[in-house]
Structures are given as C-alpha cells and as structure tokens.
Amino acid sequence: MRDIFLRRRMWRRRPELQRNYDAVIIGGGSHGLATAYYLAKNHGLTDVCVLEKSYIGSGAAGRNTTIIRSNYRTPEGAEFYQRSVELYERLSAELGYNLMFSQIGHLTLAHTERAMVTMAERAEVNQLLGIRSRVVDASGVKELCPEIEIGDTVTWPIMGALYHEPGGIIRHDAVVWGYARGADRLGVEIHNATEVTGIERSNGKVTGVQTTRGPIACDTVVSCTAGWSTLLANMVGVELPIWTSILQAFVTEPVKPFLDVVIVSSQMHVYISQTDRGEFLIGAEVEPYSTYSTRATFPFLEYSARHVLELFPQLGGLKVLRQWAGICDMSPDYSPIMGVTEVDGFIVDCGWGTYGFKAAPIVGTTLAELVAAGTTPALIEPFALERFYDDLPVSELAAAAVSH
C-alpha cells in the first residue's frame, strides 16, 4: 500500500534544503514552476530549487480568473501571448495531466463608437500576426451568446465586440500542479514554507539568498513573485517602477451550463465565464488603491453583481458561494517586465498586472532560455526593465478591457 501511495503523490516530499544550487527561483506559482520545468526539460538544468513562502499556488496563480487569450493591442504583446496560447494548447499532453483547457471563445464588448474603433484596431493587429480575432456587430454578439441582453433598455447597449476564437478558460490549479509535478519528476527541488528573507550580492553580482531555513549559495536568482516583486528587488538594491493593488472575483452557486463563451465589458468593467462545474466566475477591475491585503470587499461584490445582471438578468436569483482577491503588480505601460537587471544574476519576472497567468508557458520557456544561455530571447527583449530608461514603452492600456 505504501508503494502505491508514493506512486500517486503529485510530487516528492520536500527534500532537505541544500546549501548550494545553480539557480534559485523565488515564487511557487505558475511562472516560477514553469521556469523550473523548462530549465530541466529544455536545457537539462536540474540543480535548481523553487522557494515558496506559503504553499504551491498560494499567490496570484491560485487567485486568478482562468482566462487564456492572445488578442492584445501591441504587436509585441500579441505575438508573445499567441506563443503562450500555442503552448497551452498542447500542455496537457506534454505534462500528462488534464488542465481542462476549453477554447470556448472570448468576446470583448463595445458599447460606444470609439470602443468599436479600438476593437477594429486590435483585430487588425491580431490578424496581421495570424491571430484569429474579428469584429462582430450586435447581432453577431447575440448569435454567439443568445442569452446576453443587448437591447436599448440596458444602461450601455452593445454595439458589437471583438471576437477572439482561440480564447477560453483553463483550470488554474491544474496548471500549477502539472508544472510542479513535471519539474519534480525531472529533478527540480520544490520547497514550500520557505521564505526568502534576503538576497546576497558582492561586486554587483548575486551570490546567494537568505531563507527561513538557512542560507543558499547560488549564481542566479529569478524573482517570480507577482505583487511582492518590489520587496524582493529591494533586497538586492534594484528599483522597479511598479505599484501593487488587488484584483477581486467571486463565483456563484453552480447551475446548468448555458454560457459557452467568455464575456468581457470594458465599459462596465466586468467579465464573466461559466466553469466546468456550472459556477459563474465574475471579476472586475483592479482596485484604485495600493495594498497587499487579499481581503475581499463588499463594494466590489455589489458593483460587479449589478453590471453582470445588466448583461444577464436571468442570473438574479443565484447565490454567491465565495469571493477572493489576488495581488497584482502594475507597471507604467501595463506590460510585463522580464529579464536581466543591473545586478548580475538577478532576473525579474514582474509587472504583469492581470495578465500573468495567461503567459505562464511562454514566460517559463523564455526565462529558462535566458538562464541557461545567458542571452535574452528576442521575444522578451521589448519587455526589458531598461525600456523605461530608454523611453520605449510597450503600452497595453487598451488591451485588458477591464483592469487596465
């Protein structure tokens, strides 16, 4: 029986913490675990440990709203996320673990003429890059989602939408577990309940980290800590142009499935999808204040529910099961910050805002290449920290539709 139990474990029991690794990855979420997995799989580097101060997937990866898409506004962003979607499409087979990826389509609603122009611009950028996105009118929205209310009686009548066919939803905790199991089976060590309390440097280079379980010597530290990015960077003397806030969401009781497309409204600042269990998952915009608290608030619930009922009045009788908040780190141009810093060996992966979970596979792939080869992959060059000093922003202000 003991042998059967061990074979069924998702990953090995936490090993003893060694005093030296080739690379230390801080953050046991989707990005950190993906980076560790691809370091081992693509480059054969297994003398790597992932440090997580809580449990695996306890941060943004476990508190997001599961939407996967690539219909971004800038060529740099759209191409980057398209590569991520392509990796997600075959990730279940690669990891040998069902991630429940449902490419049900994604509708970004437009309620004004200006919004329709923005949707047309995004569709053109997407199509030039081979991404399946197109603008549909109000009747097209109704055809794709018969249950939605589009009439003139609503506060913001629907004029049309950007329809992104490959978009969809995925099981977020399955992604975390799949990457953790994959990395573990390739030899990477995963250490939860291990908090980094300091990062050591000498002569402008990383030399190790201090943890609640003792010091670790290493040449490379990769920070994949979402909203806590500035605190980690401060430990090594790197300033990041980031502010931290929270993104909230809630789910209803489960009902018979009828919503087979993701709905997003930039005007109402709300988005909604239905899970495989029949729950309606509803989110809104990031809160307009900086905080590290993950306590959900009643005003968010009230605001979001009101706007959802304008789109789907038939949901009025549903009970709310639970609500939560996740920490987001926001950059000035609403695009991520990835790559090397002025401290040799300290690599950052931050500034994702509400985009991070969508990018996990391509982040892991490119950061692993950066660590292994020592050169920045072309795909993430536009997202370097130094762009803010060179005045080369990659503005995705209009691409989130809700949160940015």
CATH of the domain at 56: 3.50.50.60
In a domain, 112, yes or no: yes
State whether 232 and 116 are in the same domain: no
Domain boundary among 282, 303, 330: 330
In a domain, 321, yes or no: yes
Query: DSSP characters for 231-270?
Result: HHHHHHT-----EEEEEEEEEE--------SEEEETTTTE
Which pLDDT score is estimated for 12?
Answer: 85
Instruction: Return all residues near 98 (Cβ < 8 A) that are at least 6 apart.
Output: 92, 171, 174
Which pLDDT score is estimated for 404?
Answer: 40
* Sign, Cα dihedral of 321, 317, 288, 380: positive
Domain boundary among 314, 330, 346: 330
In a domain, 70, yes or no: no
In a domain, 203, yes or no: yes
Domain boundary among 330, 355, 379: 330
Which pLDDT score is estimated for 226?
Answer: 87
Provide the 8-state DSSP code for 379: G
Can you read off the two tokens belonging to residue 134?
Answer: 């197109």
For residue 252, give its domain range: 102-166+243-330
Domain total of the chain: 2
State whether 228 and 374 are in the same domain: yes
Q: How far apart are CA 299 and CA 152, in angstroms?
A: 27
pTM: 0.95
State whether 128 and 260 are in the same domain: yes
In a domain, 82, yes or no: no
| CA 244 to chain CA centroid, nearest Å | 15
Which pLDDT score is estimated for 398?
Answer: 63
State whether 153 and 195 are in the same domain: no
Q: For 401, left (φ over 0), alpha (ψ -120 to 50), or beta?
A: left
In a domain, 356, yes or no: yes
State whether 388 and 291 are in the same domain: no
In a domain, 53, yes or no: yes
In a domain, 84, yes or no: no
Question: pLDDT truncated to tens, each residue of the chain (404 aa)?
Answer: 444 444 567 888 888 999 999 999 999 999 999 999 999 999 999 999 999 999 999 999 999 889 999 999 999 999 999 999 999 999 999 999 999 999 999 999 999 999 999 999 999 999 999 999 999 999 999 999 999 999 877 888 999 999 999 999 999 999 999 999 999 999 999 999 999 999 999 999 999 999 999 999 999 999 999 889 999 999 999 999 999 999 999 999 999 999 999 999 988 989 999 998 999 999 998 898 999 998 999 999 999 999 999 999 999 999 999 999 999 999 999 999 999 999 999 999 999 998 899 999 999 999 999 999 999 999 999 999 999 999 999 998 766 544 44
Which pLDDT score is estimated for 1?
Answer: 42
**CATH number (domain holding residue 315):** 3.30.9.10
State whether 39 and 157 are in the same domain: no
> How are the residues of the chain apportioned to helix, strand and coil, as percentages rounded to the nearest 5?
35, 25, 40
State whether 323 and 250 are in the same domain: yes
Q: State how beta strands 23-26 and 220-223 pair.
A: parallel
